[in-house]
Homo-oligomer: A and B are copies of this chain.
Amino acid sequence: MKLADLAQQIGGELAGDGSVDVTGVSPVDDVKPGHVTLADSEEHFAQAEASAAAAIVVSIEVAQSRKPMIRVKKTTLALAKMLAIFHPPQKPEPGVHPTAFIGRDVSLPASVHVGANAVVKDRASIGERSVVDAGAVVGERVVIGADCFIHSNATLYRDIRLGNRVVIHSGTVVGSDGFGYAQEGRTRVKVPQVGTVVIEDDVEIGANVAIDRSTLGATIIKRGTKIDNLVQIAHNVVIGEDTVVCGLAGISGSVTIGDNVTIAGQVGMADHISIGSNATIGAQSGVSKSLDGGQYYLGSPAVPIGLASRQYAVWANLPELSKRVRELEKRLDELKPR
């Protein structure tokens, strides 16, 4: 591919010779000859200049370069686009593998791939070009939209609904029973979980995630939200659009999360609270009550970052603070004994 074409496809501005051939994209610390690399800092730019790169994609101001360049606003976005160009997604061929099992009354267009030893149960419906990879299990009456990818050994319980372009990674479970019991004496009586899970368009869910079905109604993950590995999403949770939930976070029952929220790794949330849109919650925070949108929170319990920073600043010097109090007591005792 010519560099000029690449510049156009990623929406960048060409600077230098657009006729050079580029054959791939490399990280700046390990550039293969003929590849493009990226620089978002002076240090990386110097590395890129010294490398075997055929061209450099830059987001910083640089006067000039020995190599042709593509100027972009964000290198991560340019990287995303270039990787999609040089490494188009590998999708298995359409068709149902002979070892897969397809139940009765399943809606299954010819463009769908169902992998080896996968199972699609009765009355499920799978949209055009979707993939149910090896060993995955799709429950009764599950509805999967178009262009979805259910990776190997993922499990969708019965009656789940997925929009279009939804990706579910391996080991992930969608639609297991919510953790609901009523106490009768000491016995826990199971509250049957008869609701469902709805996952909207363009959601991607990592590996070994657990998303419980609701008691009644639906657990909902809205359009464009991305969920990392090993996340727990309890019953009746509603997560808004374009939200990000990082690894090992735990969202308790009936929590409502707005749009464009960022939830960092290992965050925990108490049940029945709500998080406003555009909030960010720092790693390992414990959210014990509802939080307004648009702010950055940190800590356990989570508080606005300004307060949290001051708390952690004192915490860092807590032994010192304790000594100073002892010193004050001594001085005061000398001045006026108790």
Contacts and interface: CB of A to CB of B under 8 A. Distances in A.
Interface of A: 25-27, 30, 74, 76-77, 79-81, 83-84, 86-87, 89-90, 97, 99, 101, 115-119, 121, 133-135, 137, 139-140, 151-155, 157-158, 167, 169-173, 176-177, 179-184, 186-192, 194, 204, 206-210, 212, 215-217, 224, 226, 228-230, 232, 234, 241-242, 244, 246-248, 250, 252, 259-260, 265-266, 268, 270, 283-284, 286, 288, 300-301, 303, 307, 310-316, 318-319, 321-322, 324-325, 328-329, 331-332, 335-336, 338
B101 A99 contact: yes
A155 B153 contact: yes
Contacts of A157: 151-152, 170
A314 B322 CA distance: 7
A101 B117 contact: yes
A166 to B, nearest CB: 12
Nearest to A181: B226
Given A314-B319, A328-B332, 8 more contacts: A119-B134, A153-B173, A171-B208, A229-B232, A230-B232, A247-B250, A311-B316, A324-B325
Copies in the complex: 3
A260 B81 CA distance: 38
B179 A228 contact: yes
A246 B286 CA distance: 15
A71 to B, nearest CB: 16
A306 B307 CA distance: 24
Nearest to A242: B186
B210 A206 contact: yes
B170 A226 contact: no
B190 A80 contact: yes
A226 B188 contact: yes
A63 B169 CA distance: 53
A155 B135 contact: yes
Contact of A319 (B176, B284, B313): B313
Contact of A152 (B89, B155, B266, B322): B155
A284 B283 contact: no
A134 B134 contact: no
Contacts of A229: 173, 176, 179, 210, 212, 232, 234
A207 B77 contact: no
A188 to B, nearest CB: 6
